[in-house]
Amino acid sequence: MNNSISKAAAIATFSLLLAISNFSQIHNEHQLPPIPNEEQITEMINDMAVSLDLSPEQKVKFLELHKAHFEELKSKHEINKKEIERKRIEMEKERLAFENELKSFLNDNQKVKFDILSKKKHHRPKDMIEGSPKRAHEKEMK
């Protein structure tokens, strides 16, 4: 009896850890890994130099190439962040223009109700948003 409780507890713990891991991956799937700073790059190259038995010349070249590589990634990351913000602003403008077009067909009372509905719609729970895991599961079930 005690052994089966231990097994059940172990299975429950494993399942919980697996669920947390999956949630973490879903939550962070759109985040880029952090770019190492110069100290971290140097430490990484020092470890590689020992593991690969690099000559001093090879170590210098590895360090130069890694620093250049991560600088390029950092630059691309900044460009990507600016592009995402630009697109977000563009989409917001398009949404407002669309809502204004819709409201042009409404009377004043309907416009007030529309604004209330619109605010509720923009603050929907995550499970109502297209592409969320719950929403994807619902589509599979259909």
Its pTM stands at 0.44
Is-contact 58 45, C-beta < 8 A? no
Is residue 65 within 8 Å of residue 104, measured between CB atoms?
Answer: no
Residue-wise pLDDT tens for the chain (142 aa)? 556 555 555 565 555 555 565 555 544 556 667 888 999 999 999 998 999 998 999 999 989 999 999 999 888 888 888 888 899 899 999 988 998 998 898 899 999 988 888 887 765 555 544 555 555 555 555 5
Delimit the domains of the chain by residue range.
36-105, 106-142
Q: By three-state DSSP, how is residue 32 classified? A: coil
Identify the CA nearest to 132 among candidates 89, 140, 88, 20.
Answer: 140
